[in-house]
Structures are given as C-alpha cells and as structure tokens.
Chain A
Amino acid sequence: MRRLLALAGLLAVAGCGDDGTISAGEGAKPQLVVSAASSMQEALTACAPGYADAELRLQFAGSDELAAQIRQDVPVDVFAAANTELPEALEAEGKLETPVTFVSNELVLAVPAKDARVASLADLERPGVTLVIGAEGVPVGDYTRKVLDGLGAARSRAVLANVRSNEPDVKGVVGKLAQGAADAGFVYLTDVEAAGERLTAIELPAELDPSATYAAGVVKAAKRPEAAEAFVDDLLAGGCHTALLEAGFGEP
C-alpha cells in the first residue's frame, strides 16, 4: 500500500510536468510508464520530450525499489535498471519479457571538486575519512561492494568501516557529497558529469571491474506492449540511446 501511494505520488508529479508540454498531441500518442534507475534521470528527462511515438511518464528511483513495485503489480510498461540482475530476476518470476542490455556505465570514486581530502582509493582506508555509498540491494551499492571485495578482506573492511550512510539510490550519494557531508562516495561516472563542477571523479583500476551494465525490458503486464517494445528499441539504438551516450554512458 505504502509503495502504491508512493508511486501514485510520483506519477502525479510526473503528470504535472508532462501535461503542459504534451497536451497538443493529446489522445494521439499512447502513454508509457517507464520506471528507470536514478542514474538515468538527466539523460532520459532530456530525450523524453523528443520521443515521437509515445508520451513518456518517467519515474526514477533505486532499481531495486522499482523492481519491488513491479513485483507488487504496479502498472508500469518499461523497466530500465542499472544492472542486469534485477531485470533477469523479474524475468525469472514471470514479470518481465526478456531484458536487453542497452548501455554501460562506470563506477567511480567521487570527491568534492574543492578541498578534497581523498585523492585515491587507498585514502579511503584511513581512519576518520567519511564515505557515503549506496545501500545493499541497490545496484550502485552492490557494484561498490563488489569493487571493494576485489581489494581483499582487510582493505575492504577498513574502507567499509568509514561508511557513514547507506543511501537508497545513487542520487542520495551525490546529494550527500554535494552538501559536503562526506569526503567521498561511490557513484557512476555519469553522475559526476551531471554534477558539473562540484564533483571530481577518481577512476577505479580496471582489475576491480568497475563496469556497470544496464538492462531494460517490457513489463509482462504492460498495457501497450508494442509501444513499450518500441521504447526499449529506442533505448537500444534511438534518440534516448544517443541522449544516454551524450550523458557519458557507454555502449553495452
């Protein structure tokens, strides 16, 4: 119930934003509800008005929350997640058509652009450094833990001991960093680019495999499966794919 209300709220907000601009094509275009990972917010918000085949109602949150909503049969047409595990799990549960990977991203260590106290991954092990990461179960949090696992148990434990907040989505991490609440945080490269001058990205060594693969699929209960399929194709090769690349995402 709580999450139904939350979704209703989100949709109401999305609706307020869209109605003014789309009213010209009222009735002509099908309406698609798209649940997308927070990290795609800037890119998809940018490409949505130009998407010709449907009126997009975008809602953004941690992919795990969006997946939980779809599990509870919240009426969503397309699910675009920041990993492949969640869409695959939904497919296995019969809630989602076969997902496709459409873009990739990269986990980075983000620090404030000015007066950063952290200059490298090793600095995170120093006692007293404050770190903010995504919660377990949220893709960005799971990627972070995987990367830290690659450091070995002792170093990973030292870093995790400095974690001061487990945020429900990647925007929460960015927000805490932008406020100066923490010295560093693990986010996607695209988040640092979207934050403009405020954050600096420290790239992670390739052997820790900081890559993130995004997958999307049509929800089984979608009211307009063809329109939903067309939008997934757009994420794969159309205008929204281009917008994602412009925002710093890579080919899958």
Chain B
Amino acid sequence: MSGAGRGWFAVALAVALGAVLTFLTLPIVAIFLQQPPRDLIAALGEDGALDALWLSLQTTATALALILLAGTPAAYLLATHHFRGRAAVITLIELPLVLPPAVAGIALLAAVGPATLLGRAAADAGLELSLATAGVVVALTFVAAPFYLRQAVSAFEAVDPTLLDASRTLGASPARTWWRVAIPTALPGLVAGTALALGRALGEFGATLMFAGSFQGVTQTVPLAIYDRFATDFTAALALSAVLVAVSAGILLSVKLVRGPDPLRG
C-alpha cells in the first residue's frame, strides 16, 4: 500500500519536472531551430547587429564597473554594521529588483529626465543622459545594481567575524582587512552577484527604451535591436536572441564553475 503510494508520488514528481523542463526549454531551443544556423550567423554580420552587440558590451561593462565600485563597499558596510534603519535601507536598495521595467523608465524620467532640474544640470555639465549612451548606462545601473548588492551583502554577512577580528588584531587596518580578508573570503558570492547583475543589465529593455530611446550605435542595445527587427527581419531578431541565450548560458556556467553546484543561493 505505502509502496504503491510512493511509486505514484515519484511518477507525479517526474511528470512535474518533465513539464517544467519542456515549458522552460522549448522556447529557447526554438530560437535555434526556426532558422538554419548558417542564416543566423549571416544575420549577425549585419552592421546594426554588430553595433548593438558592441554597445551592449560597452554599456553593460560600464554599468558593472560602477556597480562593483560603489556597491562592494556599500554592501560591506551594510553587512558588518547593524545601525538603526538598516532594514529600511536594505529594502530601499532592493526595491528596483521588483520594479517593472516600465516603472523604472518612468522613475528615471521623473528623476533625471530632460525636463527635470537634475537632468538639465547634468546636461549643462556636459553629461547628456537623455537619448545618449550615458542614459543607457544609468538605466542598466539602476535595474542591475540591486542584484549585485543583495548578493554582496549576504556574501559579506557570511564571512566569519573572527577572521576579520584576527586580521585587525594582527595589526591590519580596517581597509586592509576588507581588501585582503573580507573580499577574498566573500569572492564566490560577489562573483555570483556580478553574474546576476550582468545578466539583468544585458537583458534590460523597457527602461532603456523609455529613458534613452533607440538609436543604432548610440542607445540601441541588443534587446532593443531585437525588438526593432522582430517585425521587419525576424531572422536577425532570432540571431541576436541566440547570441543573448549563448552569453547568458555562458554566464550561468561560469558562475557554476566558480561557485560549485549552487550558484544562485546567497
């Protein structure tokens, strides 16, 4: 009786896994199957596609550099100091994580759009954001930073405090302790956070279109190029999608190699 019950349950679990796997992989596999690989590769040779790939690479790298530079010390502070209002700060920082892209776009327009004081001040200072590459970087940073920060805070929290104490007892300054002990120990978590932020930044669409517009070589990142082509040149849209799938798979795999089998857990 109980043996038969277990057998039935095991089958149900397997069926559920099969359904999940089919649903999640079929669309991705379809990207590669709808056109012959030769056509996909040929479509990538087109000027606009290369521009979009190059622009996505540049803007994502810049956004990630900003996120790492400011986010790593900020996350360390949040992980090691338990001040009043810390929970509120963490909630605020994580908010863009769950914001719909359209809301992110409107929020950026309302805060630093061309009609705002801040936006005008930035433009006067020579930093044109609206319809400019810098605007893409702002949009990517805004939506991707929380992914890194969340992961970095929990990675620093997991560092054994006695390690940090020992380092300081041995005479290392707090900065040196941070650089030589905390960061190396938390590195796998930081790498995972970087990968998540990278994936989010590469895929950003809505906020970029609303805030920075769409222009080849200036603001048209790969997702925007895909959208631009899907009505006129479906093969090119498939080809660019295939590149994003490959890059995303590469990110996921490399994180698995760095972190072991369980990359996405803090």
Contacts and interface: CB of A to CB of B under 8 A. Distances in A.
The answer to whether A and B interact is: yes
A166 B216 CA distance: 8
A87 B114 CA distance: 37
A168 B232 CA distance: 11
Interface in B77-117: 109, 113-115
A157 interface: no
B5 to A, nearest CB: 38
Given A176-B131, A181-B131, A2 B215 contact: no
Nearest to B110: A179
Contacts of A233: none
Nearest to A131: B131
A181 B231 CA distance: 26
A139 to B, nearest CB: 11
B42 interface: no
Given A130-B131, A181-B130, A65 B230 contact: yes
Contacts of B218: 164
A137 B231 contact: yes
A129 to B, nearest CB: 12
B27 interface: yes
Nearest to B224: A168
Contact of A181 (B30, B213, B220): B213
Contact of B231 (A1, A68, A163, A180): A68
Looking at chain A's contact residues, the main secondary structure is mixed
B219 A165 contact: yes
Interface in A129-158: 130, 132, 135-138
Q: Size range of the interface on B?
A: 20 to 34
A3 interface: yes
Nearest to B234: A68
Interface string B192-231: 0000000000000000011001111011100000011011
Interface in B215-266: 215-216, 218-220, 227-228, 230-232, 234, 241
A62 interface: yes
Looking at chain B's contact residues, the main secondary structure is loop
Contacts of A67: 231
Contacts of A166: 213-216, 220, 228
Given A132-B213, A175-B210, A180-B114, A164 B131 contact: yes
B214 A167 contact: yes
B232 A136 contact: yes
B228 A182 contact: no
Contact of B115 (A3, A68, A180): A180
A180 B129 CA distance: 12
A67 B234 CA distance: 12
A225 interface: no
A40 B22 CA distance: 39
A64 B132 CA distance: 26
A68 to B, nearest CB: 4
B231 A132 contact: no
Contacts of B234: 68
Nearest to A138: B231
A179 B115 contact: yes
A65 B234 CA distance: 11
Given A180-B113, A181-B114, A163 B215 contact: yes
A2 B240 CA distance: 13
Contacts of A181: 113-114, 130-131, 213
A169 B220 CA distance: 15
B209 A168 contact: yes
A179 B130 CA distance: 10
Contacts of A168: 209, 214, 227-228
B230 A167 contact: no
B120 to A, nearest CB: 9
A172 interface: yes
Interface of B: 27, 30, 109, 113-115, 130-132, 209-210, 213-216, 218-220, 227-228, 230-232, 234, 241
Interface of A: 1-3, 62, 64-65, 67-68, 130, 132, 135-138, 163-168, 172, 175-176, 179-182
List of 3 A-B pairs having minimum Cβ-Cβ separation, nearest first: A165-B213, A64-B231, A137-B232
Given A64-B232, A68-B234, A137-B231, 15 more contacts: A1-B27, A2-B27, A2-B241, A3-B230, A65-B230, A132-B131, A135-B228, A138-B231, A165-B131, A165-B219, A168-B227, A175-B210, A179-B115, A181-B114, A181-B213
